[in-house]
Amino acid sequence: MKSRQAQVFIILGLWIGLFAAAGRAQNCSPATVQGNYFALLQGNINGSPYLELDKINADANGSLSGTRAISKNGAFSQINQSAAYSINPDCSGMVTVADQPAFPIQIVEGGGMLFTGSDSKGTNVTGQSYRAATHCTDASLYGTYGIVLASGSYVGVGTVNYDGNGGFTLSDNENGTNYGASGTYSVQSDCSGTSTITYNGGGATYHSAIALVQGGEILQMGTDQGQLWWETQRLVSSSSVLGQFAFGGGWYSAVYFTNNNGYAVSFPVNFVADDGTPLMVPSVGSSTTMNLAAQATAIIEAPNSGNLSQGFVSLALPPGVQAYGVFRYSAPGMADQEAVAPLSNASSNQVTLTFDDTAYTTAIAIVNPSPVAGTVSITAVDNTGATIGSGMLNLPANSKTEAALRNITGLAGVAGTRGVATFSITAGNVAVLGLRFNHSAFTSIPAVGN
C-alpha cells in the first residue's frame, strides 16, 4: 500500500499536469472574434506608402463587414467591403477578401486584439485590430493623452488635451521643431469619429478619422488628399479611484500599496470628500506623496475615531504598482466586519455592475472624478435582460454620492432581483464601487468600466 505522502505527491503531480495542459490548450473558434473592431494598418503596396483605418464587424460565424479608409501614396478613398475569416484552435486564422490574396491573423488577449500582416504580390502591410470601445460620446475623450505621430517624411511626439466637449489643444515636437495646434472633434456612438486640427499662427488645417478602442487607446489617420500620416494616443497617466473611504462613526479604512518594480517609485495620493472639497485624514492630511522602494509595500490608514467622515481616494499609480482598499465596521456587541475593495478606472464614461438584491442589499458609491459636472444615467436589467428601472443623478465636478441602489428614484424594481446596472455620464467620467450587505456582513462588488 502506498504511503499517504506518496498519494499526496501523485495527486499533486496530476494537478500540475492538468494545469500545464490547460496552459498549453487553446480554445479559439470563429466565435472568439465577434463584435466591433478597429484596425490600423501601415506599409506599402508595390512600393507606394500605404495606410488604412478599418471599422469591422465580426459576426462570430466567419463573416466580416465594414468600411475601409485607405490612403495609398496620399490618395484617400473610403469603401465598404465584406470578407470571410476562419479561426484555428491554436488562435491563428486567415482572412479572405474578394479578388485579394488571403492573409494571416493571430488572436491575442482572448479576441481583444488581432495581429495581421501580408507580404504577397507586392504587398507589405502589417497592423493590429483592436476591439472597439462601447457607448461613446464626445465626453469619452477627456484629459491629457500622449501621442506618437508618423508620416513618410517626419515623426512627432507630444500631448493632446481633450475637453470632453468637442475641443482640444495639441503640442508636439516634429523632427526637432515644436508646434502648437487646436481643433475640434466629434465622436459617434459606435466610437468612430472625426477630427480637425489647425496649427497655430496661421498654420495648415488637417482632417482625420479617429477610433476609440478598448483599453483607452485612440487610433487616428489623416484623410486629406495628398497627406499620409497616422498616430496613436494614450492617456498620460492612468488615474484610479477608490470609490469609498470612510472613517469614524464605526468605520475604518485603509489603502495598501505594493511596488513590484525593481526600482523606487513616487506618486501622489489625494483624499476628496463627497462634496469635492479636500478630505482631511488624521495623520495624513488631504494629500500625500507615496515613496516606495523597489519591492516595498506601504499602507495608509484612517482610524475609527470621532464622527463619520467619508469621500473617495484619487491616485495615479505608476506601472508595476498595485493597490487595494480595506473597509472595517465595528459596533459594540458584534464582531468586526471587513471587506477588500478594488480600485476603479477613473477614465471611464460608462460602467456596469452585476448585482444580487434578492436576500441582500446592494449599495453603491458613484464618483465623478473629473473637473466638469455630469449627469449619470442608470439603467437596471434583470437576469433575463428585461429593463426593471432607470434613474438619473447629477454629480458636480470631483464629487461622490452613495445610496442603496433600490432607493434611487426610478430603481425600486431592483429589490428582490438579480441583474446588471449600467452607469453612463454625459460629461466627465464616472467610477462605481458596489457593496453588498447581508445584515451586518458586507463585501465589495467590482464594477467594470469601458
d(CA 245, CA 235): 26
pLDDT over threshold 60, residue 426: yes
- Residues present in the chain in total: 450
Q: Provide the grid cell at 146.
A: 500622449
Q: Could you say which of 107, 131, 155 is where a domain stops?
A: 131
Strand-pair category, 192-199 with 177-187: antiparallel
pLDDT over threshold 90, residue 322: yes
Of the chain, the percentage scoring pLDDT greater than 70 comes to: 93
Q: Provide the grid cell at 108.
A: 491575442
> What number of CA atoms fall less than 13 Å from residue 142's CA on the CB side?
25
d(CA 53, CA 219): 8
Q: For the segment 178-210, what is each residue's pLDDT rounded down to a tens digit? A: 999 999 999 999 999 999 999 998 789 999 999
pLDDT of residue 11: 37
Q: For the segment 212-230, what is each residue's pLDDT rounded down to a tens digit? A: 998 889 999 999 998 889 9
For residue 219, what is the domain's CATH number?
Answer: 2.40.128.120
d(CA 163, CA 168): 6
For residue 282, what is the domain's CATH number?
Answer: 2.60.290
pLDDT over threshold 70, residue 274: yes
For residue 362, what is the domain's CATH number?
Answer: 2.60.290.11
Q: For the segment 227-251, what is each residue's pLDDT rounded down to a tens digit? A: 889 999 998 877 899 999 999 999 9
Note the pTM of the prediction, 2 decimals: 0.75
Q: Are residues 229 and 254 in the same domain?
A: no
Inside any domain, residue 421: yes
Computed over every residue of the chain, the mean pLDDT equals 88
Inside any domain, residue 72: yes
Residue 210 contacts residue 220 (beta carbons within 8 Å)? yes
Q: Are residues 45 and 122 in the same domain?
A: yes
Inside any domain, residue 16: no
Inside any domain, residue 2: no
pLDDT of residue 416: 95
d(CA 44, CA 126): 9
Q: Could you say which of 82, 107, 131 is where a domain stops?
A: 131
Element housing 17 (H / E): helix 4-24
pLDDT over threshold 50, residue 16: no
Residue 176 contacts residue 159 (beta carbons within 8 Å)? no
d(CA 70, CA 143): 29
Calculate the CA dihedral of residues 222, 227, 228, 230 and round it to 10 degrees: -30
Q: Are residues 260 and 280 in the same domain?
A: yes
Residue 108 contacts residue 423 (beta carbons within 8 Å)? no
pLDDT of residue 377: 95
Inside any domain, residue 3: no
> What number of CA atoms fall less than 13 Å from residue 52's CA on the CB side?
26
Angle at the Cα of 241 (from 269 to 343), degrees rounded to 5? 110
Q: Are residues 214 and 299 in the same domain?
A: no
Angle at the Cα of 41 (from 35 to 44), degrees rounded to 5? 150
Q: Are residues 292 and 362 in the same domain?
A: no
Inside any domain, residue 224: yes
Residue 139 contacts residue 428 (beta carbons within 8 Å)? yes
User: 326 is in which domain, residue-wise?
Assistant: 239-344
d(CA 60, CA 81): 17
Inside any domain, residue 355: yes
pLDDT of residue 7: 44
Q: Could you say which of 217, 235, 253 is where a domain stops?
A: 235
Inside any domain, residue 281: yes
Of the candidates 58, 110, 106, 108, the one whose C-alpha atom is nearest the C-alpha of residue 84 is 58
Instruction: Give the 3-state secondary structure of residue 211.
Output: strand
**How many domains are contained in the chain?**
4
pLDDT of residue 113: 87
Q: For the segment 66-113, what is each residue's pLDDT rounded down to a tens digit? A: 999 998 888 999 999 899 999 999 999 999 887 677 889 999 988 888
Q: Are residues 111 and 153 in the same domain?
A: no
pLDDT of residue 26: 63
Q: Are residues 363 and 434 in the same domain?
A: yes
